[in-house]
Amino acid sequence: MSVIYDSSTGQYSLHTENYSYIMLEKEGFLLHLYWGEKTFGDCTYMFREQGRAAFSPRMENCDGFILDDVPLEYPCWGRADMRTPALEITNPDGSVIVDLRVKNRRIEKGKPSIKGLPAIYVENEDECETLVVSMYDEVSNISVELYYCVLEKYDIITRFARIVNKGNDTVYINRAASCALDFDHINFDVISNYGTHCRERQIERASLKHGRFIMSSRRGASSHVHNPFMILTSPNADEVSGDAYGFVLVYSGSFSSEIAANQFDSARAVIGLNPENFTWRLDSGEEFTTPECVLSYSSEGLDTLSYNFSRVFRERLCRGKYRDIRRPVLLNSWEACYFSFDSDRLMKIGDSCAELGIELMVIDDGWFGKRDHDRCSLGDWFVNEQKLKGGIKRISDYLNEKGVKLGIWFEPEMISPDSELYQKHPDWCLHYKNRPRSEGRYQLILDLTRQDVCDYVFESVANILREGGISYVKWDFNRNMSEAGSILLDATRGREVDFRYYLGLYSVLERLNQEFPDVLFESCSGGGGRFDVGMLYYMPQVWTSDNSDAIERLRIQYGTSLVYPMSAMSAHVSASPNHQTGHVTSFYTRSNVALTGSFGYELDPTSLSVEEQKMVSETTRLFKEYGEILAKGRYHRLRDPHNEPCSAWCTVSEDKSVCIATYVLTHVRMYGNNERIKLRGLDHDAIYKERFSGVCYRGDQLMNFGLHAPISHEFGSILWILEKVEQ
Contact positions vs ligand DGJ (CB under 6 A)? 334, 364-365, 409, 476, 478, 524, 526-527, 543, 546
Give the residue among 7, 96, 94, 3 at the shortest CA–CA distance from 44. 7
- Least Cβ distance, residue 363 to ligand DGJ (angstroms): 10
| Residue 576: strand, helix, or coil | coil
Report yes or no: 145 and 178 within 8 Å, Cβ to Cβ. no
Cβ partners under 8 Å of residue 279, min gap 6: 172, 173, 174, 494, 495, 496
DSSP for 53-112, please give it.
-TTPPBSTTTTS-BGGGS-BSS-BSSSS--S--SEEEE-TTS------EEEEEEEEES--
Task: Provide φ and ψ at 333, rounded to 5°.
Answer: -80, -10
- Least Cβ distance, residue 472 to ligand DGJ (angstroms): 13
- Least Cβ distance, residue 466 to ligand DGJ (angstroms): 23
Identify the H or E element spanning 512: helix 497-515
Q: Angle formed by the axes of helices 550-560 and 587-594, to 10°?
A: 10
- Which of 150, 535 has the CB closer to ligand DGJ? 535
The residue from 447, 532, 546, 683 that is catalytic is 546
CA dist 43 to 11, 27, 141, 522, Å?
A: 8, 17, 32, 46
- Least Cβ distance, residue 460 to ligand DGJ (angstroms): 17
Question: Cα dihedral sign for 575, 581, 582, 586?
Answer: negative
Separation of alpha carbons 70 and 82, rounded Å: 11
- Least Cβ distance, residue 212 to ligand DGJ (angstroms): 33
Give the residue among 139, 176, 183 at the shortest CA–CA distance from 21. 183
Cβ partners under 8 Å of residue 628, min gap 6: 325, 326
| Position closest to ligand DGJ via CB | 365
Separation of alpha carbons 254 and 498, rounded Å: 7
Question: Cα dihedral sign for 422, 423, 425, 427?
Answer: positive
- Which of 228, 600 has the CB closer to ligand DGJ? 600
Q: Angle formed by the axes of helices 610-632 and 587-594, to 10°?
A: 20
- Which of 280, 409 has the CB closer to ligand DGJ? 409
- Which of 416, 666 has the CB closer to ligand DGJ? 416
Query: Among this protein's residues, is 655 annotated catalytic?
Result: no
Query: Among this protein's residues, is 476 annotated catalytic?
Result: yes
- Which of 270, 363 has the CB closer to ligand DGJ? 363
Separation of alpha carbons 77 and 29, rounded Å: 14
Query: In one letter, which amino acid is 690?
Result: E
Q: Angle formed by the axes of helices 343-356 and 610-632, to 10°?
A: 70
- Least Cβ distance, residue 394 to ligand DGJ (angstroms): 22
- Least Cβ distance, residue 603 to ligand DGJ (angstroms): 13
Identify the H or E element spanning 247: strand 244-249
- Which of 407, 699 has the CB closer to ligand DGJ? 407
Query: E-strand spans in 642-716?
Result: 646-652, 658-665, 675-677, 687-690, 696-698, 707-709
- Which of 334, 367 has the CB closer to ligand DGJ? 334
List the beta bridge partners of residue 543: 570
- Which of 224, 634 has the CB closer to ligand DGJ? 224
- Which of 16, 525 has the CB closer to ligand DGJ? 525
The residue from 155, 364, 418, 476 that is catalytic is 476
Report yes or no: 473 and 407 within 8 Å, Cβ to Cβ. yes
- Least Cβ distance, residue 105 to ligand DGJ (angstroms): 46
- Least Cβ distance, residue 179 to ligand DGJ (angstroms): 31
- Least Cβ distance, residue 408 to ligand DGJ (angstroms): 11
CA dist 454 to 114, 192, 448, Å?
A: 20, 34, 5
CA angle 475, 479, 483 (to 5 degrees): 130
- Which of 67, 524 has the CB closer to ligand DGJ? 524
Please tell me the number of Cα atoms within 13 Å of 240 on its side-chain side.
10
**Catalytic residue numbers, as ranges:** 476, 546
